[in-house]
Amino acid sequence: MEGIVCACGASALELYRSSKRLIPTLLDKPRTGKVTGLMVPPRQFLEDDMTARGVVKQPYHVLVDGNHGYNPRRDIHAVACYHPLPPRSLIKIDKGFWVTSPELTFIQICADEDLSDFDIICLGYELCGTYILDDSWDGLTCIDEPLTSTEKIGRLINSIHRVPGIKRARNLIKHVHDLSNSPMETILAMLVSLPTTKGGLGLGPISLNHPVATPVGQRRVDIGFPKQRVGLEYQGKEFHSIEAVGRGARRQNKIVGSGFTILNVWYEDLIDEHLFQQLVTDLFRALGIRKRIRVTGYHTLRKLLRMQLMPAIKAYGSNEF
């Protein structure tokens, strides 16, 4: 068949989450901003194309050339585009199948009113981090390089206009940080760095996977406060054995020996109110900051934030804990 299928929005995200297994060279493919020729094939052809690339949820989200129209169908959610997009907005997987770039995918998903701001911010961390959520045994796959970065998403936001979700994307990307290593690091980073008006602690600037020079070479801290030389280390499942605890402790000794104060954080510290309050107190003390939060109803906002994020923790799978 002539014409090009282009997965976008939720379908593009599903494709990216399957790409490590099905299309490992995806980010090396050529890119374009042209939309001419984007169309919707017959139902069975579309299903075959999507399934082959790991997209199974219907309706399929597809980008179409709005200047040529399309017939509405129950199996598709079509997004019409009437003008060329900025260069590199679309990735050419092969001759007949494209996908929106990670940057454009983020913007498009921001148009989904069923997703909360916190859902979108979590997604931003994933796209800009070194993990992707998938259907593997523990719910995620570590990747060598992030799919994108906050800088790249920001550049596209500033160069694209009249696209659904653009205003929300502009407001939310500023709350995302690059290089999160896991969903739990994402949640911890959100709890400490989101503004107090959203229930966070409003602390920062922070640096994820932060490099620290030590006498034996470079080491990394999960969440670093570079100015105050303080770091947070999330202790996940890999620290449950005695051997692993020893390795983690020795690694932290090297970091502490370089002048960094390290606070260990466990899952229980995030779900138990008393332990979380103790963590907050210890963090403010380590940063040398007096705890002054003057947002009206802040404690309710903080509780709502944790209630929003904690169910997401379970969705990532209990094996990490």
Of the chain, the percentage scoring pLDDT greater than 90 comes to 71
Return the pLDDT at 88: 96
Q: Name which residue leads in pLDDT, 165 or 273.
A: 165
Q: Which residues pair with 211 in a beta bridge?
A: 220
What would you report as the CA-atom Rg of the chain, rounded to the nearest whole angstrom? 21
List b or e across 150-167, with b for residues whose CB sees 16 or more CB atoms inside 10 angstroms: bebbbebbeebeebebbe
For the cut 50, the answer to whether the pLDDT of residue 245 exceeds it is no
CA–CA separation, 178 vs 279, rounded Å?
Answer: 23
> Starting at the edge strand that comes first in sequence, how are the strands of the sheet with 217-225 ordered?
207-214, 217-225, 230-234, 261-265
Mean pLDDT along residues 159-185 = 95
Q: Which two tokens stand for residue 293?
A: 């939060």
For the cut 70, the answer to whether the pLDDT of residue 258 exceeds it is no
CA–CA separation, 201 vs 292, rounded Å?
Answer: 10
Mean pLDDT along residues 181-206 = 96
Return the pLDDT at 224: 97
For the cut 60, the answer to whether the pLDDT of residue 243 exceeds it is no
Q: Name which residue leads in pLDDT, 244 or 95.
A: 95
Mean pLDDT along residues 56-74 = 93
For the cut 60, the answer to whether the pLDDT of residue 21 exceeds it is yes
CA–CA separation, 226 vs 281, rounded Å?
Answer: 19
Q: Could you give phi then psi for residue 129, rounded to 5 degrees?
A: -110, -170
Whether the full predicted model's pTM is greater than 0.85, yes or no, is yes
Residues 99-114: tens digit of each pLDDT? 999 999 999 999 999 9
Return the pLDDT at 116: 95
For the cut 80, the answer to whether the pLDDT of residue 186 exceeds it is yes
For the cut 60, the answer to whether the pLDDT of residue 125 exceeds it is yes
* Cβ proximity of 196 and 305 under 8 Å: no
SS (H, E, C) the chain: CCCEEEECHHHHHHHHHHHHHHCCCHHHCCEECCCCCECCCCHHHHHHHHHHCCCCCCCEEEEEECCCCCCCCCCEEEEEECCCCCCCCEEEEECCEEEECHHHHHHHHCCCCCCCHHHHHHHHHHHCCCEEECCCCCCEEECCCCCCCHHHHHHHHHHCCCCCCHHHHHHHHHHCCCCCCCHHHHHHHHHHHCCHHHCCCCCCCCEEEEEEEECCEEEEEEEEECCCCEEEEECCHHHCCHHHHHHHHHHHHHHHCCCCEEEEECHHHHHCHHHHHHHHHHHHHHHCCCCCCCCCCHHHHHHHHHHHHHHHHHHCCHHHC
For the cut 60, the answer to whether the pLDDT of residue 314 exceeds it is no
Pairing type for strands 76-81 and 5-7 reads unpaired
For the cut 60, the answer to whether the pLDDT of residue 135 exceeds it is yes
Work out the angle between the directed axes of helices 102-109 and 150-159 (0-180°, nearest 10).
70
Return the pLDDT at 177: 98
CA–CA separation, 318 vs 139, rounded Å?
Answer: 9
Return the pLDDT at 185: 95
Return the pLDDT at 139: 86
For the cut 60, the answer to whether the pLDDT of residue 317 exceeds it is no
Of the chain, the percentage scoring pLDDT greater than 70 comes to 89
Mean pLDDT along residues 145-151 = 97
Mean pLDDT along residues 159-182 = 95
Mean pLDDT of the chain: 88
